[in-house]
Chains A and B, each alone.
Chain A
Amino acid sequence: MNVQVVYCNHQSAKLDVRERLAFSSPDQLARAYQELRSTFPQSELVVVSTCNRVEVYTAQESPQDAPTHRQIAEFFSQFHHVPVDDFVDDLLQAHGPEAVRHLFRVASSLDSMVLGEPQIVSQVKDAYRLAQENEACGWLTNTLFQGAIRVSARVRSETKLAEGRVSIASVAVGDFARSIFDRFDDKRVLIIGAGEMAEETIRYLKEEGVSEIVVSNRSVERAQRLALEWGGVVKPFDQLDQWLAEADVIVSTTGADRPIVDVARFAKVRRASGTKPVFILDLGAPRDFDPAINTAFDNVFLYDIDDLEATCEQNRKARVKEIDRANLIIEEETNRFLHDVYHRATGPVIKRLREEWHDIRQQEVSRLFAKLSNLTDKDRQEIEKSIERIINKLLHPPLEALRDEAQQGTPHGLIDAMRRLFGLGEKSN
């Protein structure tokens, strides 16, 4: 089997290299397929391009048609107008079983920056779909990518690799805010500051159904940008106390060098807000809310980065524990895939050889029975069985050799030799 992959990922190449080699749109990818197909006409092709990896999978009938590492590097260079020397050392390569294993690991999110993250399998599916749309796939890549999607599903269902949230914002919303509130579409969210983590948290809150977002920041421009992006409204920073009292969920990410809300200030806020439950996510470093607020007020749930990081770390460790089980599944599926592929490669030769020899047996038996007309039916059956056994015994060593060789890869040399030795004619299949 001739499958290989030339790739760079977050482990082998820095972000600026990956950015320069990535295919950012389906149109760009369509042009890439056009060029790849004209350069490597004998190859089936699939390109997987995400923010963390750029990978070109190729598969072909004959090993001499396989593109080399250098050829793929030159393709990248010409397509993206990047000097080869800028990235060639970052490009890795894998062949045969290693390439299959690599794709299965990628699709199962074992090779991801965030172990077990669910997006990668969708990205692999999209990459495969685009390759099909660009008519770059064939039997081998179809089998390979369908196998990868199946393996990913197996790993997800048979291990806990994708269980538990591992980012601060997702843990805050998914594990804690959802344990407090039944619904979010009637909740008011106050964002203090306009940092990146606030945005990520808003994204998760939006997924939960939040519709009312109030942004308050010292820099009005940044607050307006955030509010515009997420459909919120901007309120002056000097009205903070009023909005602290109105909010059900408070996300704070200011760059203040000391807490902006202490117990005394929050006590005034609570007098206005009543006893309703409030979830406060303090993403500031240093913290924006005095930690004593959590114990001072009964229905106030205050979490800072350290509180949530402990849960993230616990979930990460739980995922790491699943790696061995996931690898076992991948190994099993890789072997099954290789077996299927090799069986397909050697199957026609074996079938042809059997048919040829059995035809000869039939001819010779018929000739013999015509000459020996005094044989009883029992004699005829015994003779037929003996000849059948002789043929099977003679066929056994070459077929076993073929099967053994097939365990290591498609035995092209042996298949050709058998065709010539036993007169099996031109290439079948």
Chain B
Amino acid sequence: MSFLTHVNLFCFFASFAVAFGLEWTRLVKLNTLNRAIILVFGCAGFVAQTAYLLNRSGQTNLPPLLSSNHDWLLVLAWLCILIYLFVSCIDRNLPIGLFILPVVLVLIASAWFVSAAPNPRVAFDPSEVKNVVRNWAMLHATLLVFGNGGMLVAFVLSMMYLVQHRRLKHKQPGHEGLAFPNLERLARWNRWSVIISVPLLTLGMATGVGLALYTRDNGPTLNLSDPVILVDGVVWLLMVGLFAWLVKTERPPARQIAWLTLWSCAFVIVTMIGLQVLAGGVHPAFESWRS
């Protein structure tokens, strides 16, 4: 298995890209053969990505969630692939790959541009605070990755809802390879995805702020006027607004929820990835503004 130590980003990106391309063949004909080939590519990519993350973790001596922004994005993509493979195995007709694989590809492509250098706050090592910082950082990164994962699921569910809604409004018969769940179920799942994700994001933000305050005296300082933090705060406020509306409204129109979720999640994805890329040092001007 030594070849797994040589896995790079391109290996699993290519696997998922092929799986995504093959997912389109379900529109022509969905049979056991093309389904098996799609799953083989999906699983191959998943194994390669797991190996890559483990290799990276070994190199930095940090868990993948903590080692760098690059790895954090890849963990998020890894979670999405896990969901994709699980759902594909239990429901052969649900075209989840057509919606979730592009998100995965964007996450992996973004990780390419994001800094792979170890996080200085976690790598900082005055021994008495090291464990405390690491534990808080782990909690912060985990909550954020699950919160963002939930938002990505809500994003995919919203797209499915809108496609299904459009089909029904246009009175088109169902397609064999595109069997979506019914609107009622999609709306319920979507609502719950948002309701679960937003508290996770909130807790993630809170632990992040706590971590910043704690490390202020013990390590590299964290600037609360950092644009990354500011935009993250705006995104969080937006999601909290959506959450409050969902909880407060007795019977919110499902299509409106779907559109709102879609736009909110799209905004989250774009800002999250955009900021990570910008903060990764691609644009020196942005870096100088940060500092």
Q: Which residue of the partner chain, among B167, B182, B255, contacts A182 with CB atoms under 8 Å?
A: B182
Q: What chain A residues lie within 8 Å of B164 (beta carbons)?
A: 179
Q: Is the CB of B173 within 8 A of A277?
A: no
26-70 of chain A: CB within 8 A of chain B? none
B251 in contact (CB, < 8 A): yes
Q: Is the CB of A277 within 8 A of B251?
A: no
Q: What chain B residues lie within 8 Å of A303 (beta carbons)?
A: 171
Q: Is the CB of A182 within 8 A of B185?
A: yes
* Given the contacts A275-B251, A298-B255, A299-B253, A180 and B182 also touching, CB distance less than 8 Å: yes
How many residues on the A side are at the interface (Cβ–Cβ under 8 A)?
24
B128 in contact (CB, < 8 A): no
Q: CB-defined interface of B14-46 with A at 8 Å, one 1/0 digit per residue?
A: 000000000000000000000000000000000
CA distance A426 to B22 in the complex (A): 68
Q: How many A-B residue pairs have CB under 8 A?
A: 48
CA distance A295 to B166 in the complex (A): 11
B183 in contact (CB, < 8 A): yes
A75 in contact (CB, < 8 A): no
CB distance from A113 to the nearest CB of B (A): 22
A311 in contact (CB, < 8 A): yes
A181 in contact (CB, < 8 A): yes
Q: Is the interface of B mostly helix, strand, loop or mixed?
A: helix
Q: Is the CB of A314 within 8 A of B173?
A: yes
CA distance A275 to B254 in the complex (A): 9
A301 in contact (CB, < 8 A): yes
Q: Is the CB of B184 within 8 A of A180?
A: yes
Q: Is the CB of B184 within 8 A of A182?
A: yes
Q: What chain A residues lie within 8 Å of B174 (beta carbons)?
A: 175, 179
Q: CB-defined interface of A356-387 with B at 8 Å, one 1/0 digit per residue?
A: 00000000000000000000000000000000
Q: Which of B171, B184, B185, B253 has the most CB of A within 10 A?
A: B171
CA distance A298 to B183 in the complex (A): 13
Residue of B nearest to A307 (CB): B171
CA distance A298 to B184 in the complex (A): 14
CA distance A314 to B172 in the complex (A): 11
Q: Is the CB of B188 within 8 A of A298?
A: no
Q: What chain B residues lie within 8 Å of A314 (beta carbons)?
A: 173
B270 in contact (CB, < 8 A): no
Q: Is the CB of B253 within 8 A of A179?
A: no
A413 in contact (CB, < 8 A): no
B168 in contact (CB, < 8 A): yes
CB distance from A202 to the nearest CB of B (A): 20
A274 in contact (CB, < 8 A): yes
B180 in contact (CB, < 8 A): yes
B169 in contact (CB, < 8 A): yes
Residue of B nearest to A179 (CB): B182
Which range contains the number of B residues in contact with the other chain? 10 to 19
Q: Is the CB of A274 within 8 A of B169?
A: no
172-230 of chain B: CB within 8 A of chain A? 173-174, 180, 182-185, 188
Residue of B nearest to A315 (CB): B173
Q: What chain B residues lie within 8 Å of A298 (beta carbons)?
A: 253, 255
Q: What chain A residues lie within 8 Å of B185 (beta carbons)?
A: 182
Residue of B nearest to A275 (CB): B253
CB distance from B133 to the nearest CB of A (A): 46
Q: Which residue of the partner chain, among B184, B253, B255, contacts A181 with CB atoms under 8 Å?
A: B184
A276 in contact (CB, < 8 A): yes
Q: Is the CB of A301 within 8 A of B255?
A: no
CB distance from A296 to the nearest CB of B (A): 12
CB distance from B258 to the nearest CB of A (A): 11
Q: Which residue of the partner chain, among B168, B183, B184, B251, contacts A274 with CB atoms under 8 Å?
A: B251
CA distance A315 to B180 in the complex (A): 19
CA distance A310 to B173 in the complex (A): 9
CA distance A301 to B180 in the complex (A): 17
* Given the contacts A182-B182, A182-B188, A176 and B168 also touching, CB distance less than 8 Å: yes
CB distance from B178 to the nearest CB of A (A): 11
Q: What chain A residues lie within 8 Å of B183 (beta carbons)?
A: 179-181, 277
CA distance A180 to B182 in the complex (A): 5
* Given the contacts A179-B183, A181-B184, A301-B168, A311 and B173 also touching, CB distance less than 8 Å: yes
326-345 of chain A: CB within 8 A of chain B? none
CB distance from B161 to the nearest CB of A (A): 11
Residue of A nearest to B250 (CB): A274
Q: CB-defined interface of A166-196 with B at 8 Å, one 1/0 digit per residue?
A: 0000010001101111110000000000000
Q: What chain B residues lie within 8 Å of A171 (beta carbons)?
A: 173
CB distance from B185 to the nearest CB of A (A): 5
Q: What chain B residues lie within 8 Å of A182 (beta carbons)?
A: 182, 184-185, 188
Q: What chain B residues lie within 8 Å of A310 (beta carbons)?
A: 171, 173
CA distance A46 to B174 in the complex (A): 41
CB distance from A320 to the nearest CB of B (A): 16
Q: Is the CB of A277 within 8 A of B171?
A: no
CB distance from A314 to the nearest CB of B (A): 6
227-278 of chain A: CB within 8 A of chain B? 274-277
CA distance A86 to B167 in the complex (A): 52
CA distance A176 to B253 in the complex (A): 19
Q: What chain A residues lie within 8 Å of B251 (beta carbons)?
A: 274-276
Q: What chain A residues lie within 8 Å of B168 (beta carbons)?
A: 176, 179-180, 301
CB distance from A317 to the nearest CB of B (A): 12
Q: What chain B residues lie within 8 Å of A315 (beta carbons)?
A: 173
Q: Which residue of the partner chain, among B173, B180, B188, B253, contacts A175 with CB atoms under 8 Å?
A: B173
CA distance A171 to B169 in the complex (A): 15
Q: What chain B residues lie within 8 Å of A180 (beta carbons)?
A: 168, 182-184
Q: What chain B residues lie within 8 Å of A183 (beta carbons)?
A: 184
Residue of B nearest to A181 (CB): B184
Q: Which A-B residue pairs are the 7 nearest by beta carbons?
A: A182-B184, A275-B253, A311-B173, A307-B171, A182-B185, A180-B183, A179-B182
A-B contact pairs, 6 of them (CB 8 A): A176-B171, A180-B182, A182-B184, A182-B185, A298-B253, A311-B173
Task: For the A-B complex with A180-B182, A311-B173 known, give 13 more contacts whose Cβ atoms are closer than 8 Å.
Answer: A178-B182, A179-B174, A179-B182, A180-B168, A180-B183, A181-B183, A181-B184, A182-B188, A277-B183, A277-B254, A299-B255, A310-B173, A314-B173
Give residues in B with beta carbon < 8 Å to A.
164, 167-169, 171, 173-174, 180, 182-185, 188, 251, 253-255
